[in-house]
Amino acid sequence: MLLEKAVNEFSKLPGIGRKTAMRLALHLLRQETSVVEAFGYAMITLKQEVKYCKVCHNISDTEVCQICANPQRDNSTICVVENIRDVMAVEGTQQFRGLYHVLGGVISPMDGIGPGDLQIESLVDRVAQGGINEVILALSSTMEGDTTNFYIYRKFDKMEVKLTVIARGISIGDELEYTDEVTLGRSIVNRISFK
Amino acid sequence: MLLEKAVNEFSKLPGIGRKTAMRLALHLLRQETSVVEAFGYAMITLKQEVKYCKVCHNISDTEVCQICANPQRDNSTICVVENIRDVMAVEGTQQFRGLYHVLGGVISPMDGIGPGDLQIESLVDRVAQGGINEVILALSSTMEGDTTNFYIYRKFDKMEVKLTVIARGISIGDELEYTDEVTLGRSIVNRISFK
């Protein structure tokens, strides 16, 4: 049945149960045909036509993404992130004017993800081509993230590039007493000068 | 941008904000192309090919819906509901073996919905054709629902058909002290014999 099929498709999406799926399908049913077609084709076209930037592997409509192609950006700094959501998160802060490098994940032997499955070689190539002063590692603060950081650090051993990691510490607005010990400890060790 | 377009489409759905929309779009992006195509076309086909039963106006893949076409159902009883979700709700109870009639709403002058906008005439026609013993009114317990009930009641004035309304009362599992006065009052007035 057509409705059932649409409901099934909706309920495959993360966080969407049968009841919500039914509500969404019935909502679409009440819309104009052109509206529903716009919805359906937006999803299909997204998947069929999406490209990944050949420089930084970020999602892109073109060969080279808008960030890499932007002459206003500082192309001597690369921020290494796990995925495109992280690019969006960093972009959202409006605090970074450099370029990105999307790894596509972190090294995780448990999930069978090795260095070869990630865009690490192409990062090394980018840096080897010169012109890069700093590589900022902005991976998750997990064992897998730390492992990946270390792997990249070893790769850059003999290269003339500044390698930094983003600061870890207490979130803005958080209270000390509720912060976990590791984070609090790190934020004490990595204290910065009060200006 | 393709991703933005998909996110925009998702966030047009009821109860889906920008963040959820982004999560859903990125989820689709991680799926196989065939999976995303199945998703998109399910929605498009639903809208393009859906039919409404010419007898009861329920959603259907065929000219006459599966309920109306089912010889096992009691075709002497019609349950009048507002919309297809109500058909599903009543079907879900597995307590009703008759047929339905979907009005497409209730009379609501505030929203500019008059009797002519609803499938009332076709209900009268169905009953006038004979063979119907009982018409059960299962509309919302609102002023609009009551108005519609009364309108239908007047239409059936001279017809030989039993007109009933579904019972209103305290929900199963609810406590008396927390029930609103109108519902509690009705459930006392409409008390039934204890068997």
CATH code for the structural domain at A59-193: 3.40.1360.10
What pLDDT, in 10s, does the model give residues A145-161? 999 999 999 998 888 88
Closest of A39, A158, A45 to residue B14, by C-alpha: A39
CA distance A49 to chain B (A): 8
* H or E element, residue A58: none
The DSSP letter of residue A171 is P
Q: Which residues pair with B99 in a beta bridge?
A: B78
CA distance B37 to chain A (A): 5
Residue A190 to residue B8: CA distance in whole angstroms: 41
Least confident of A14-28, A54-68, B178-192: B178-192
**CATH 1.10.8.420 placement within chain A:** 2-49
Asked if A69 and A62 touch (Cβ cutoff 8 Å), the reply is yes
What pLDDT, in 10s, does the model give residues B148-173? 999 999 998 888 889 999 888 888 88
pLDDT band at A184 (very low <50, low <70, confident <90, very high): confident
Q: What is the pLDDT of residue A75?
A: 93
What pLDDT, in 10s, does the model give residues A77-93? 999 999 998 998 898 88
Q: What is the pLDDT of residue B153?
A: 93
**CATH 3.40.1360.10 placement within chain B:** 59-193
Q: Which residues pair with B121 in a beta bridge?
A: none
Residues in A touching B61 (Cβ below 8 Å):
1-2
Residue B152 to residue A2: CA distance in whole angstroms: 32
Distance (Å) of CA B106 to CA A31, A178, A193, B124, B182: 19, 54, 69, 16, 21
- The structure tokens 């963040």 sit at B19
pTM for this predicted structure: 0.74
Q: What is the pLDDT of residue A176?
A: 79
* H or E element, residue A183: helix A181-189
Chain A CB within 8 Å of residue B30 CB: no
Q: What is the pLDDT of residue A159?
A: 86
- Cross-chain residue pair A39–B41, CB shorter than 8 Å: no
pLDDT above 80 (res B134): yes
End-to-end C-alpha distance for chain A, whole angstroms: 67
- Cross-chain residue pair B27–A40, CB shorter than 8 Å: no
pLDDT above 90 (res B54): yes
Nearest to A48 among B16, B33, B46 (CB): B33
Nearest to A5 among B3, B12, B42 (CB): B42
Fold type of domain A2-49: Helicase, Ruva Protein; domain 3 (1.10.8)
Higher model confidence: residue B193 or residue B72? Answer: B72
Closest of B112, B117, B52 to residue B87, by C-alpha: B52
Q: What is the pLDDT of residue B6?
A: 95
Q: Which residues pair with A74 in a beta bridge?
A: A98
What is the percent of chain B where pLDDT is above 70? 99
Whether the complex's predicted ipTM surpasses the cut of 0.85: no
Q: Which residues pair with B79 in a beta bridge?
A: B100, B136
Q: What is the pLDDT of residue B21?
A: 95
Residue A162 to residue A133: CA distance in whole angstroms: 6
Q: What is the pLDDT of residue B129?
A: 92
